[in-house]
Amino acid sequence: MQPRDLSATSPYVPGRGIEEVARDLGLDPDELIKLSSNENPHGTSPKAVDAVTTRANEGLHVYPKAAHTDLTEKLADKWDLSANQIWVTPGADGAIDYLSRAMLEPGDSVLVPSPGFSYYSMSARHHHGEVAEYDLSKDGAFQQTADIVLDAYDGERIVHLTSPHNPTGTEWSREEITTLLNAVDDQTLVVVDEAYGEYSDRPSSIGLLSEFENLAVLRTFSKAYGLAGLRIGYAAVPEAWADAYARVNTPFAANELAYRAGLAALDDDDHVDHSVETAKWAREYMYENLDAPTFESAGNFVLVDVGDASRVAERSQEEGVIIRDCSSFGLPGCVRISCGTREETKTAVETINGILAEVAPT
Ligand SMILES: *Cc1c(COP(=O)(O)O)cnc(C)c1O
């Protein structure tokens, strides 16, 4: 037998892991610097590690229930929402699925950015939806505005926005988001993905939930909180349809350790502040010191126009610095470099400048 026709769905292409690259190159994983997946170079909050260890010692034989309630309430408190407006999910990717489940009828369309995060379209197709794209242009420095989306908009059921945007680093302004929310059909859900929200100085769109019923905002513990390996995130949604969660939620999808880690990480301001400060330093360092054009970023990564992305990424990997070739995002000229620690970032810039000199001598 065969699965259903999945030919329209391209497989998700993750950044390559340290272990697999080390194995390929015959290197010690400790010799590699991984700046390909926008992970937190300072690791996990020590408080979260403690909480996980404690919980594991106490036993994991019970379904996660109280911890789910606790995390939901803590997040509702943080954002000044009621608890049912927080949909806790296995990663922000899980939240994308839950919104697809809640909104899409077979054949409904979603509108996604190009270049952009590939899971928006994958999730729509999993839910028997169709996909249309709006283009962010390199010549326009990947600027994001209501006009750009509305030019492509044709009554889609879901419009996905990313702010800060992956892989370009650009942001939406509050004014442009409001313009878009007012302009689309009231049965069109605008999803603002704030996976990198902690690194931005702009206010979260969660603040608009009291004004708009066609808005959902995604957040994750994977980036600034350093919990990518545990898979925990959430959507913040309007009161009007918040109760749909109970109908679309996979029972116990997020796990006990993830809830405990999330609860502890929310209390560890030092870890988040330090992580954000390092990322802001690293962004500036890359703009100033890379010998190739960079795009200003509000995330924990910088997009760099290197000309031949696959060659530069491959050579960089051979030199021990793993970066993201953006060809799979539709940007064959660009690489995305995650912000490392100060030391890692300096080494990466030096390595990549060496490669740029060799690939395109000036
Ligand atoms: C990393 C990322 C996510 C998802 O992260 P999870 O690990 O599933 O929480 C979502 N959107 C964008 C744009 C991302 O870069």
213-234 pLDDT per residue, tens = 999 999 999 999 999 999 999 9
Helix then strand then coil, in percent of the chain rounded to 5, is 45, 15, 40
Which residue type sits at 358?
Answer: E
Residue 219 CA, ligand 1 centroid: distance in Å: 8
| Fold of the 18-44+269-355 domain | Aspartate Aminotransferase, domain 1 (3.90.1150)
- This prediction's pTM: 0.96
* CATH fold label, 59-265: Aspartate Aminotransferase; domain 2 (3.40.640)
Cα–Cα distance, 261 to 45 (Å, whole number): 9
Q: Is 18-44+269-355's fold the same as 59-265's?
A: no
- From 93, 112, 171, 232, mutation site for ligand 1 pocket: most ligand atoms within 8 A of C-beta: 93
Q: Residue 126 Cα, ligand 1 centroid: separation in angstroms?
A: 18
Ligand 1 centre from 292 Cα, in Å?
A: 27
259 lines ligand 1 (CB under 6 A): no
The pLDDT, as a whole number, for residue 360 is 65
Q: Whose CA is nearest to atom 1 of ligand 1?
A: 195
Q: For ligand 1, say whether the CB of 117 is within 6 Å of any of its atoms.
A: yes
How far is residue 341 CA from its own chain's centroid?
19
Ligand 1 atom with the smallest distance to the CA of 233 is 9
Pure H helices in 14-112: 18-25, 46-58, 66-79, 91-103
For residue 121, report the distance from its CA to the centre of ligand 1, in Å. Answer: 14
Residue 92 alpha carbon, nearest atom of ligand 1: 9
- CB of residue 194 inside a 6 A radius of ligand 1: no
Which residues does the chain have with pLDDT short of 50?
Answer: none
Among 97, 123, 144, 223, which is best to mutate for testing ligand 1, by the most ligand atoms less than 8 A from CB? 223
- Report the distance separating Cα 219 and Cα 193, nearest Å: 7
What is the CB neighbour count within 10 angstroms for residue 297?
A: 29
Query: Do the beta carbons of residue 39 and residue 301 sit within 8 Å?
Result: no
Any idea where the domains of the chain sit in the sequence?
Answer: 18-44+269-355, 59-265
Quick: pLDDT tens for 254-279: 999 999 999 999 999 999 999 999 99
Angular region, 10: left φ>0, alpha ψ -120 to 50, beta rest: beta
Q: From the CB of 222, is ligand 1 less than 6 Å away?
A: yes
Distance CA 160, CA 143 (A): 15
Query: Is the Cβ–Cβ distance between 242 and 80 less than 8 Å?
Result: no
- What is the distance in A from the centroid of ligand 1 to the CA of 2? 30
Judge whether 122 and 9 are in contact, CB under 8 Å. yes
The confidence score (pLDDT) of residue 361 equals 54
Decide whether any atom of ligand 1 lies within 6 Å of the 37 Cβ: no
Q: Which amino acid is at 237?
A: V
301: which strand partners? 338
Residue nearest atom 14 in ligand 1 by C-alpha distance: 195
Cα 19 to Cα 223, 301, 328, 345: the distances in Å are: 20, 21, 22, 20
Beta bridge partners of 162: 193
